[in-house]
Amino acid sequence: MTRPPDPDHSRAVLVGTAEYTEDAALPGVPAVRNNVRDLHRLLTEGRPGAFAAEKVRTVLDPATPRDLGLPLLEAARQAEDVFLVYYSGHGLIGHERRELYLGLSKSVVDAPSFTAFPFQGIREAFLSSPARNKVLILDCCFSGRAISGNLSGVHEPLIDQMEIAGTYTLTSAAANEPARFQEGERHTAFTGELLLALRDGIPHPSSVEVTLGALFRHLKRVLPTRGMPEPQHCGTDTAELLILTRPRRRSQRGSSADAEGNRPSGIREELLARRDLGHRRGEEGHTGEAVQMLTEVLPGLTLTLGADAPATLVTRVNLAYWTGRHGGTEEALRLTTTAVEQMTRVLGPDHRFTVVGRSQLAQWTGESGRFAEARQLSTTVVSDLRRILGPDDRETLVGRAQLARWTGEAGDPAAAAHQTGELIPDLARVLGREDRETLTGRLNQAQWTGRAGVPRRAVQLLTGLVPDLSWVLGPDDPHTLVGRSRLAQWSGAAGRRRRARHMFAAAVPDLGRVLGPDDRETLLARSQLAHWTGETGEPTEAVRLLRLLVSDLAWVLGPDDRITVVSRARLAHWTAVQGDVSDAVQQFYAVIPDLSRILGAEASETVENRALLALWRKKADRRLKRQLFYGARDHGGRP
């Protein structure tokens, strides 16, 4: 029977060696850090997470066997249900018995038994663990030796040594085959496909969950078609039925068991306090915690107060809001739609909670890419907010800001800039000149002004705004960092290319440090940095930056996100500028249909890149005339 790990009694150790400092024969693999970080997120955060965050340990760039062995042994002894070990890095081969060693940052190829971690250490950790199931996932060269043993077959295969009850082993390559580390990709090939399957599921699976066995069969089918090594596996008992794609088990507090007895008299206050704490955690930036806490408290509120109680309905809207802020836009839209329908029925269409819920419904409609529909919804709800709550209510002002945003996103940035300009005096009068909403309005006005084709005016607005943001909110506030990034963007568009490049070079590390390397603003700034690097005369460096970025964008934002497709188009252009016109033309042909589908056939980016394709095709046809007419091989004769 399939089952997920018990999060309270399971442990995981995720190990990655990305840097090798002692031996030039062991090149660094930067993607390993992303392997470990993204696997940690998938195993612990929301769906599909199955492990408690505090029970998962990451070990990055261990230098000595002790640095890896002690954390491994400690977690092994603590695990009672599932013990998972993941390693990504270089695999080394012993000289005598040809056994497998896991590379460490101070490993030396010619001395693995002294400088690397022996596979025997994994076996000893597994033997010491009381866990019902032990799972080993290896993404390294020669990892198949964990299953098939050495090349000569003289010595005992390692999998025979690993056949401990309840053990499942999954490896990226065969015993004599190196793993593939593709430069410029966010993940290594094996782990990248594994993460996609864990995050997005397996196409047409027999079950919605991804068991270890189903995961192996998927990887075995997909990876060889991409020219990658065929993964190997071996399992004992029913370990391959483990599921790693379930959310963390909810707290027993507020469960159905509580409903069968008498509830404590203070349960209502406790539930409301937990709801408020969840909302506060979201406002502090911990959106995942907010979603988890509100998800846990909602059944208790429904049972205690009733499904139609205002406090329950507000909790539903709050849960939808933080779900969206955590990245689940479509789920936020679904939850908000249901909550607003219920609020309209129970509280009436003119209740404050109902119209505020409708405002959020417009927000998530826009966030899901339906800009024209969001603009229509916002237009109607702003009228009702004015009528019901008054023109100076904070929710009315926020609704007007949303209307301006969706007006711009629907294709009318000049109108959005005008609407925001009219809003700012009201924000300053009602909330104060230094209120966050007022400062945000000024930031939005500058952005829409730039997008309306007036970059010099946008630069003027931002030059006055950025110091205010820094002094009022602090230099590390997200609004301040975004303001700096927007100033760099429009400075470049206004002709100050070197200033744009230098400002983005300074902004990208700060955005990554404060918002995180995978935040949308950080990724957008990286794309802009690459673009202005090319514009200042360094196309080869622009190509390098964009190749590193595009893989991250596809993983974090998805292949159909605006930033992803625009960055792919930029990569094609700078590839051509640096001299590889043939490759660039092929990239243009691949990305232009996506630009047309995602942004629209008449969008400026689509039109500009069609013109660039025509330009580079003309040059390529002339430069590659002989190859095009006679084929890649030289057949002789006159051209």
pLDDT digit string, tens, across residues 377-414: 999 999 999 999 999 999 999 999 999 999 999 989 99
pLDDT at residue 229 in the model: 82
What order do you get walking across the sheet with 232-235 strand by strand?
Answer: 56-60, 11-16, 82-88, 133-139, 167-171, 232-235
Range among 133-142, 166-175, 264-273, 541-550 rated most confident? 541-550
Instruction: Give the range among 266-275, 498-507, 515-524 with minimum mean pLDDT.
Output: 266-275
pLDDT at residue 153 in the model: 31
Which residues share a beta bridge with 56?
Answer: 12
Q: Any idea how long the chain is?
A: 639
Which DSSP letter does residue 130 get?
Answer: -
Q: And the tokens for 194? A: 């594994």
pLDDT at residue 586 in the model: 94
pLDDT at 143 over 60: no
pLDDT at residue 251 in the model: 36
- Read off the pLDDT of residues 25-64 as tens digits, 9 standing for 90 and up: 899 999 999 999 999 988 987 555 678 889 999 999 999 9
pLDDT at residue 634 in the model: 52
Is pTM beyond 0.85? Reply is no
Q: What is the secondary structure of 302-322 as a DSSP string?
A: HHHH-TTSHHHHHHHHHHHHH
pLDDT at residue 166 in the model: 65
Q: Which residues contact 512 (CB under 8 A, 6 or more apart)?
A: 519, 522
Q: How high is the mean pLDDT of the chain?
A: 86
pLDDT grade, residue 8 (50/70/90)? confident
pLDDT grade, residue 71 (50/70/90)? very high
Q: Taking the CA atoms of 544, 546, 547 and 549 in sequence, report the sign of the dihedral they define.
A: positive
pLDDT at residue 246 in the model: 54
Percent of the chain with pLDDT over 70: 87
Instruction: Give the range among 85-99, 192-206, 306-320 with minimum mean pLDDT.
Output: 192-206
Geometric angle at alpha carbon 392, from 387 and 393, rounded to 5°:
75
pLDDT grade, residue 223 (50/70/90)? confident
| Cα–Cα distance measured from residue 321 to residue 351, given in angstroms and rounded to the nearest whole number | 19
pLDDT grade, residue 154 (50/70/90)? very low
pLDDT at residue 152 in the model: 26
- Read off the pLDDT of residues 166-213 as tens digits, 9 standing for 90 and up: 678 888 865 555 555 667 789 998 999 999 888 888 875 555 568 888
| Cα–Cα distance measured from residue 531 to residue 546, given in angstroms and rounded to the nearest whole number | 8
pLDDT at residue 287 in the model: 84
pLDDT at 149 over 50: no
pLDDT grade, residue 245 (50/70/90)? low
pLDDT grade, residue 629 (50/70/90)? confident
Q: Which residues contact 215 (CB under 8 A, 6 or more apart)?
A: 170, 194, 197, 198, 202, 244
More confidently predicted of 502 and 603: 502
Q: And the tokens for 332? A: 């936020």
pLDDT at 67 over 90: yes
| Cα–Cα distance measured from residue 579 to residue 568, given in angstroms and rounded to the nearest whole number | 17
More confidently predicted of 309 and 158: 309
Which DSSP letter does residue 476 get?
Answer: T
Residue/partner pairs of 423-430 with CB below 8 Å, 24 or more apart: 423/397, 426/391, 426/392, 426/397, 426/400, 427/397, 430/392, 430/394, 430/397
pLDDT grade, residue 617 (50/70/90)? very high
Residue whose structure tokens are 């006005």: 445
Q: What type of residue sits at position 26?
A: L
pLDDT at 492 over 60: yes
Q: And the tokens for 129? A: 């663990």
pLDDT grade, residue 146 (50/70/90)? low
Residue whose structure tokens are 């915690």: 289
E strands present in 65-214: 82-88, 91-93, 100-102, 117-118, 133-139, 167-171
pLDDT at 576 over 70: yes
